[in-house]
Amino acid sequence: MSSLEKKYPHVEVDLKKLRHNIDAVVKICREQGIGIAGVVKGFNGIPEALPLYQECGCTSIASSRLEHIEDARIMGLEGPFMAIRIPMESEIPDLVRLADISLNSEITVLEAINEECKRQGRTHKVILMADLGDLREGFWDVEDLVKAAVYVEKRLERVTLLGVGTNLGCYGSINATPEKMEELINRAKAVEKVIGRRLDIISGGGTTSFPLVIEHKMPGRINHLRMGEGIALGKDLEDLWGLDMSFLNKDVFTLRAEIIEIKDKPSYPAGEIFVDCFGNKGVYIDRGIRKRAILGVGKVDFSLDSQLEPRLQGLEVLGSSSDHLIVDVQDCKEELKVGDILEFGLRYSTMVFLTGSKYVRLEIKR
């Protein structure tokens, strides 16, 4: 930790608003027999937020990063904890020590988990992933999935087969439709037929599968989702899916940054246009002289300035460099000056980068 008495930039996390969102999502899903793994990787597992996921009845706390699960354990949370990035072979000792459940897609890794369980005197549960077209993790062929399931069921004495799952709308931009869910259920049935018992969990995906729940189109046998964005932000479902998400707080996270320069300047750069500081050719529209503010926060902190949403009317994010954010404030009704603080709502990428930046203070609102 640095010794700077620094106030800005900071990201405020409103725990009451977050609690409301977790409660709301858990309740809607519970009514349809769906358990929720509360995914905390999107805000880098901010420790103060972790207990809420347990208190609000998530069936597990989940992250792609074992560090977050370790933090939750150190805080004394009970879990269960789910590791949702298919494990690296090199992290299996930590995985077995920290996580109760993991998503998996490689037989050699499953075997290594079993060996590590023996070493540590523990057991571990797994959900086998089926790739239904999004082309990220998971078995592509049904036969391979079934083979792996039988292997876990019959050969791995310390690893329990909890169920099957899938992931959609991450790499391949594949939409979660009732048909995709039926495909997953059919894969589960193929497994069940061979192992001769019903699987506990069929995990239908993340936030991108939540619209099916809201629209009452989720097939009955899907009984588990792993949700991050749709709880913490709830923005994508409204903006991209056009769903009414008014039952969620969209302002759990707020970035506050300080104005360090405010001047009237031309909107079009003067001189020969080459590339910006990241090697990109900028696009600039000549709108004449405009009042613009520079804020003390930059790409190092949020990566994508287009995913910052100014809260004040009449502001427009123009662009950024590593350490500067440039905002057009010409149309803002308020009289802004150097030293003023501007607020921004976050989206997934800005949430994940800002909460992970060592230059951005976290402000926990209880």
Rounded least distance, CB 41 to ligand PLP, Å: 6
Beta strands, E only, the chain: 10-14, 35-39, 60-63, 81-83, 101-104, 124-130, 159-166, 201-203, 224-227, 253-266, 289-295, 308-310, 316-320, 325-328, 341-346, 361-365
In 3-state terms, what secondary structure has residue 319?
strand
The tokens for 233 are 């932000």
Cβ-in-10-Å burial (0-12, 13-18, 19+) of 104 comes to buried
Examine residue 114 and tell whether it contacts ligand PLP (CB under 6 A).
no
Give the C-alpha distances (Å, rounded to integers) separating 35 from 32, 250, 255, 332: 9, 23, 31, 45
Rounded least distance, CB 226 to ligand PLP, Å: 4
Binding-site member from 211, 230, 234, 345 for ligand PLP (CB under 6 A): 230
Q: Closer to ligand PLP at the Cβ: 229 or 305?
A: 229
Examine residue 105 and tell whether it contacts ligand PLP (CB under 6 A).
no
Tell me if residue 41 is catalytic. yes
Q: Site residues for ligand PLP, window 22-61 (CB under 6 A)?
A: 39, 41-42
Rounded Cα gap, residues 333 and 314, in angstroms = 7
Lay out the site mask for ligand PLP across 127-166 (x = CB under 6 A, - = otherwise). Answer: ----------------------------------------
Rounded least distance, CB 24 to ligand PLP, Å: 15
Catalytic residue among 17, 41, 189, 250: 41
Q: Site residues for ligand PLP, window 188-217 (CB under 6 A)?
A: 206-207
Task: Identify which range of 51-59, 105-113, 183-191, 225-233 contacts ligand PLP by CB under 6 A.
Answer: 225-233
Q: Are 29 and 231 in contact (CB under 8 A)?
A: no
By beta carbon distance, the residue nearest ligand PLP is 228
CB atoms near residue 207 (< 10 Å)? 25
Q: Closer to ligand PLP at the Cβ: 59 or 167?
A: 167
The tokens for 305 are 């300035």
Residues of the shown chain interacting with ligand PLP in the complex, contacts defined by CB under 6 A: 39, 41-42, 64, 84-85, 103, 167, 206-207, 226-230
